């Protein structure tokens, strides 16, 4: 059977369901059943070229050539279904057989062509091929999926890496991560910076860690220790924090070691380095500060213990002596105990003063008061204040002031004095032989300022080097040595240092044990072009001389303290060590005030006052104001003080303010007129006349020599000179006065028994301003005073209406009550002066004035009423000055009343 190749038609259909047979004309003579699924309208007789296009062997072959070339591989493109038929040709006679199957490239084509397994011959590998294609597609899908997962993982890793990188670069720690093989897995810039590595951190990754460690070892103070510590950490693989590593450049690093395990598996480790140089320094400073604080606390404790001791010791003495004083004692014992009491109380007072001063400095309550002052004068003052103590210890007190020191500079004189006194006191205290020295030297002098070095040095025991800084700290005292007890608060130098710092400088110290110490500081003072401030007017004469005070005090320390206080306030102070000396001085010289301690050897203050008052009562001398000082605050002492004629009575401890207030109130500020006359009676009359003419005080000199010696020293405003004097004549006296320094300006009026132009000429020639013949009337005296002393606006320090004249209109009915009335008015004078003291009880002044106003006339004393009226007004106006003035007027008025009454009685 042609065209079936022995298979028979059914066999051919089963074995090759896509077969096709053509004849020599190229017409289809037979086709397989599955080919019909691809080309459903294929008919027997159709031309091959109508249903298919030859792709292989060669598209241009004609049918004859196909027959000749068979068997041959063929590919036919079936027209209309886009399917390639692939297989081989087989020629048999005039039939050509195409044995093939569809060439599928995708499994989907099976569905597109609606082909099923049954459409293929069982031996056809096309299905296998399609299955393989599907496997390939599955693998491709896998590959795509894995590639996507990989890309995602890579992206994630990159993000993680950049996060880590950002974190690492911002970490303040040097980080080095090693993998399990000891290679660098990760590091950061901080690590590179820490170890001065120039390369970027990424460049280190992969490097060998042990090599890196060996290379870094020389950076460490202990390279071998550094390496062995690494080895130890790696051996034990236990997390360790804060290994401390010191570098040769001074830095200190802290290192943590963190081994990394995954489950049980060691995966490497992490080193974290921190630069703790600053932190440790801070810690050290903190420790140092703590030590200092503890030291300060200790010093404070020691200070409290010392203060307790320092206070208890004198307090014990005070208590003990107070008990003793309550018992029967001999006058000598009593005096001795009182002196000791005073000394101990003074010591206590000084202690308290120092602590208070320190406390004010600590709380910044101290302000500097910068005023013009004389540095040379200040240094001299300081020297003088310590002179006695130095002398008592047998020390030479040297003093040096640079000749170039400006006359006046600006600064806080009092605070500077405090510093220098403190330094010099220490110098004296700690020097047992040799000298102490205070100096002021000009370091620089400019047109507007000067730098002055103030220095206090000594040849004392010196200060150990380890104490030289500490002694300026609070509560620190030099340790006691075998021969000297430490004493004082330990605050003196702290106060000095603080004050000098406030003045813009710093105290420096140079000292060697056994050879002495030197403290100095340099102050920049602006120059003061204006003159030194005038002392307060009420304290001085217009010619600039100070009021003069006699201070009777046996205790040298008290004497010093009081002298300094008074001198600083601008007074001239003369001192007497006991009552007898004071009496002699008071008799010989003209003081404006006497301040007397009550307890003194030889003659106490009460006796001194009594003797002076008696003297005044029987001589032309003016009444000397007396202020008593006492450690006794008992009422009977106060009464006794008043009884003997003291004007004021202050009890110790005496504050500077209280002292000055009392002094200001009582110092005799009246201008002085010296009466030179060898007749005591004549002098007494003239003196009374002079004092009645105004606020003027009469001084008496019994001969020319005394007048010359005293007139200028006593700062008199006028000399009334008798002609016929015992010894030096009036004319000679006038000449001698004129020759004295400052004597040329002194008004001298000759009051003599001679008369006439001749006498006037002679006295003028001798230097007198004018000549008046005796007897002189009150009007003449007043005229003279008004021209030379009481010139309004010229020299009267307290211009005020003249005190009321004494006009007595005594009512006989009350005459027996007059002495009592006058005594009460005397008491009023004291009350008035007390009332204007601290605080000022001006209501009391008004009340006193009001009573006087109302009662004066009733007793016949119109002047008392007038003064009362004035006092009432001054009290209402709270005018301290006026009240003071009026109290003096009242006192003089009472003197005059009593004098008149006395005259009448006689």
Binding site for other proteins (CB under 8 A): 107-108, 110-111, 115-118, 122, 127-128, 130-132, 134-135, 137-139, 141-142, 145-146, 149
SS3 203: helix
CB of 262 to other proteins, least distance (A): 15
CB of 107 to other proteins, least distance (A): 4
Per-residue tokens: 283: 């810690």
The enclosing H or E element of 882 equals: helix 880-905
Which residues, in sequence order, are CB contacts of 282 under 8 Å at separation 6+? none
Which residues, in sequence order, are CB contacts of 411 under 8 Å at separation 6+? 370, 371, 373, 375, 503, 523, 525
CB of 97 to other proteins, least distance (A): 26
Q: With contact defined as beta carbons under 8 Å apart, do 851 and 868 qualify?
A: yes
Q: With contact defined as beta carbons under 8 Å apart, do 688 and 663 qualify?
A: no
CB of 39 to other proteins, least distance (A): 20
Q: Decide whether 117 or 757 has the Cβ nearer to other proteins.
A: 117
Q: Decide whether 128 or 741 has the Cβ nearer to other proteins.
A: 128
Q: Decide whether 144 or 515 has the Cβ nearer to other proteins.
A: 144
Q: How far apart are CA 124 and CA 121, in angstroms?
A: 5
CB of 160 to other proteins, least distance (A): 17
Q: How far apart are CA 57 and CA 75, in angstroms?
A: 7
CB of 4 to other proteins, least distance (A): 26
| Residue 888: φ, ψ to 5° | -65, -45
Q: Decide whether 137 or 414 has the Cβ nearer to other proteins.
A: 137
Which residues, in sequence order, are CB contacts of 453 under 8 Å at separation 6+? 439, 440, 441, 442, 443, 520, 521, 522
Q: Decide whether 138 or 283 has the Cβ nearer to other proteins.
A: 138
Q: Decide whether 154 or 293 has the Cβ nearer to other proteins.
A: 154
CB of 104 to other proteins, least distance (A): 10
Q: How far apart are CA 495 and CA 420, in angstroms?
A: 11
Paired with 20 in beta bridges are: 31, 98
Q: Decide whether 139 or 297 has the Cβ nearer to other proteins.
A: 139
Q: Decide whether 127 or 789 has the Cβ nearer to other proteins.
A: 127
CB of 31 to other proteins, least distance (A): 22
Q: Decide whether 102 or 620 has the Cβ nearer to other proteins.
A: 102
CB of 136 to other proteins, least distance (A): 8
Paired with 861 in beta bridges are: 808
Q: How far apart are CA 414 and CA 370, in angstroms?
A: 9
Q: With contact defined as beta carbons under 8 Å apart, do 631 and 652 qualify?
A: yes
Rg (CA), the chain: 63
Q: With contact defined as beta carbons under 8 Å apart, do 571 and 549 qualify?
A: yes
| Residue 120: φ, ψ to 5° | -110, 150
What is the maximal distance between C-alpha atoms in the chain?
207
In the block, which residue shows the tokens 């300026």? 472
Closest-CA residue to 215 (of 232, 196, 240): 196
Q: How far apart are CA 67 and CA 88, in angstroms?
A: 12
Q: Decide whether 155 or 284 has the Cβ nearer to other proteins.
A: 155
Q: With contact defined as beta carbons under 8 Å apart, do 864 and 845 qualify?
A: no
Contacts of 224-227 with CB under 8 Å at 24 or more apart are none
Q: How far is CA 616 from CA 547, 623, 663, in A?
A: 20, 6, 20
Q: With contact defined as beta carbons under 8 Å apart, do 23 and 30 qualify?
A: no
Q: Decide whether 115 or 721 has the Cβ nearer to other proteins.
A: 115
Q: Decide whether 144 or 228 has the Cβ nearer to other proteins.
A: 144
CB of 35 to other proteins, least distance (A): 18
Which residues, in sequence order, are CB contacts of 152 under 8 Å at separation 6+? none
CB of 7 to other proteins, least distance (A): 22
Overall size of the chain counted in residues? 906
CB of 66 to other proteins, least distance (A): 32
Q: With contact defined as beta carbons under 8 Å apart, do 207 and 179 qualify?
A: no
Per-residue tokens: 132: 């393989």
CB of 137 to other proteins, least distance (A): 5
Of the CA atoms within 13 Å of residue 231, those in its CB half-sphere come to 9
Q: Decide whether 120 or 271 has the Cβ nearer to other proteins.
A: 120
CA-based angle 735:740:744, to the nearest 5? 70
The enclosing H or E element of 161 equals: helix 126-170
Q: Decide whether 153 or 765 has the Cβ nearer to other proteins.
A: 153
Q: Decide whether 28 or 121 has the Cβ nearer to other proteins.
A: 121
Q: Decide whether 132 or 634 has the Cβ nearer to other proteins.
A: 132
The DSSP code for 527 is: B
Q: Decide whether 115 or 436 has the Cβ nearer to other proteins.
A: 115
Q: How far is CA 324 from CA 318, 344, 543, 638, in A?
A: 10, 15, 51, 21
Q: Decide whether 106 or 281 has the Cβ nearer to other proteins.
A: 106
CB of 124 to other proteins, least distance (A): 10
Helix ranges (H only) for 725-861 are: 730-739, 757-765, 778-788, 818-835, 842-856
CB of 81 to other proteins, least distance (A): 17
Per-residue tokens: 9: 């038609």
Q: How far apart are CA 54 and CA 32, in angstroms?
A: 19
SS3 715: coil
Q: 659: left (phi > 0), else alpha (psi -120 to 50), else beta? A: alpha
CB of 50 to other proteins, least distance (A): 30
SS3 5: coil
CB of 41 to other proteins, least distance (A): 23
Strands 435-445 and 449-458: antiparallel
CB of 98 to other proteins, least distance (A): 24
């Amino acid at each position: 059977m042609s065209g079936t190749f022995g298979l028979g038609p059914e066999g051919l259909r089963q074995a090759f369901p896509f077969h096709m047979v053509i004849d020599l004309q190229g017409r289809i003579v037979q086709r397989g059943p599955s080919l019909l699924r691809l080309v459903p309208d294929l008919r027997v007789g159709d031309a091959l070229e109508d249903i298919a296009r030859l792709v292989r062997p060669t598209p241009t072959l004609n049918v004859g050539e196909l027959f000749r070339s068979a068997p041959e591989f063929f590919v036919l493109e079936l027209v209309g279904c886009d399917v390639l038929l692939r297989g081989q040709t087989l020629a048999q006679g005039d039939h050509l057989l195409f044995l093939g199957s569809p060439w599928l490239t995708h499994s989907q084509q099976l569905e597109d062509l609606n082909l099923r397994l049954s459409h293929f011959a069982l031996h056809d590998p096309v299905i296998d091929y399609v299955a393989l294609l599907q496997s390939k597609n599955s693998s491709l899908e896998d590959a795509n999926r894995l590639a996507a997962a990989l890309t995602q993982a890579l992206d994630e890793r990159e993000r993680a890496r950049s996060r880590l990188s950002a974190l690492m670069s911002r970490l303040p720690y040097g980080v080095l991560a090693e993998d399990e093989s000891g290679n660098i897995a990760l590091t950061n810039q901080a690590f590179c910076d820490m170890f001065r590595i120039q390369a970027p951190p990424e460049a280190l990754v992969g490097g060998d860690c042990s090599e890196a460690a060996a290379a870094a070892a020389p950076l460490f103070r202990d390279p071998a220790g550094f390496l062995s510590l690494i080895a130890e950490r790696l051996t034990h693989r236990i997390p360790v924090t804060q290994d401390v590593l010191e570098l040769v450049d001074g830095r200190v690093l802290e290192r943590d070691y963190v081994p990394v395990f995954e489950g049980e598996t060691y995966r490497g480790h992490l080193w974290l380095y921190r630069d703790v140089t600053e932190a440790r320094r801070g810690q050290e400073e903190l420790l140092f500060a703590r030590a200092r604080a503890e030291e300060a606390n200790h010093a404070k404790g020691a200070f409290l213990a010392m203060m307790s001791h320092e206070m208890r010791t004198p307090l014990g003495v005070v208590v003990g002596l107070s008990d003793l004083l309550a018992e029967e004692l001999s006058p000598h014992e009593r005096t001795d105990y009182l002196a000791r009491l005073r000394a101990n109380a003074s010591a206590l007072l000084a202690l308290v003063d120092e602590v208070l001063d320190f406390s004010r400095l600590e709380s910044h309550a101290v302000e500097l008061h910068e005023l013009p002052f004389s540095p040379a004068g200040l240094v001299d003052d300081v020297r003088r204040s310590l002179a006695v103590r130095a002398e008592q210890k047998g020390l030479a007190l040297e003093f040096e002031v640079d000749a170039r020191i400006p006359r006046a500079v600006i600064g806080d004189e009092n605070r500077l004095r405090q510093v220098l006194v403190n330094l010099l006191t220490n110098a004296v205290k700690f020097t047992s032989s040799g000298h102490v020295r205070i100096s002021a030297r000009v370091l620089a002098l400019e047109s507007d300022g000067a730098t002055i070095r103030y220095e206090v040095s000594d040849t004392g025991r010196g200060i150990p080097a380890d104490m030289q800084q500490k002694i300026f700290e609070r509560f620190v005292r030099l340790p006691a040595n075998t021969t000297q007890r430490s004493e004082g608060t330990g605050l003196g130098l702290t106060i000095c240092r603080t004050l000098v710092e406030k003045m813009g400088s710093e105290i420096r110290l140079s000292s060697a044990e056994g050879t002495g110490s030197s403290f100095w500081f340099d102050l920049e003072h602006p120059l003061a072009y204006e003159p030194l401030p005038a002392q307060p007017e009420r304290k001085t004469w217009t010619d600039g001389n100070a009021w003069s005070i006699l201070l009777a005090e046996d205790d040298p320390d008290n004497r010093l303290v009081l002298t300094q206080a008074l001198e600083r306030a601008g007074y001239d102070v003369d001192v007497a060590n006991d009552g007898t000396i004071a009496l002699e001085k008071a008799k010989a010289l003209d003081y404006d005030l006497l301040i007397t301690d009550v307890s003194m050897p030889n003659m106490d203050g009460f006796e001194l006052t009594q003797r002076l008052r008696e003297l005044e009562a029987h001589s032309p001398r003016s009444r000397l104001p007396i202020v008593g000082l006492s450690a006794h605050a008992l009422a009977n002492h106060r009464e006794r003080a008043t009884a003997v004629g003291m004007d004021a009575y202050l009890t110790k401890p005496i504050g500077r303010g209280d002292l000055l207030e009392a002094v200001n109130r009582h110092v005799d500020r009246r201008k002085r007129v010296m009466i030179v006359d060898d007749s005591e009676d004549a002098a007494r009359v003239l003196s009374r006349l002079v004092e009645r003419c105004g606020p003027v005080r009469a001084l008496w000199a019994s001969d020319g020599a005394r007048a010359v010696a005293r007139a200028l020293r006593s700062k008199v405003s006028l000399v009334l000179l008798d002609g016929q004097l015992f010894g030096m004549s009036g004319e000679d006296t006038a000449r001698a006065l004129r020759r004295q320094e400052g004597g040329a300006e002194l008004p001298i009026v000759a009051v003599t028994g001679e008369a006439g132009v001749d006498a006037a000429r002679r006295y003028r020639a001798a230097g007198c301003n004018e000549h008046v013949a005796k007897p002189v009337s009150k009007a003449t005296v007043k005229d003279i005073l008004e021209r030379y002393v009481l010139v309004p606006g010229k020299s009267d320090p307290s211009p005020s209406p003249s005190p009321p004249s004494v006009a007595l209109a005594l009512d006989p009915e009350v005459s027996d009550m007059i002495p009592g009335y006058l005594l009460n008015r005397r008491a009023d004078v004291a009350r008035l002066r007390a009332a204007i003291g601290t605080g000022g009880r001006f209501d009391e002044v008004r009340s006193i004035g009001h009573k006087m106003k109302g009662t004066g006339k009733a007793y016949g004393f119109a002047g008392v009423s007038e003064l009362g009226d004035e006092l009432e007004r001054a009290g209402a106006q709270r005018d301290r000055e006026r009240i003071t003035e009026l109290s003096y007027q009242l006192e003089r008025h009472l003197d005059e009343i009593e004098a008149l009454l006395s005259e009448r009685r006689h």
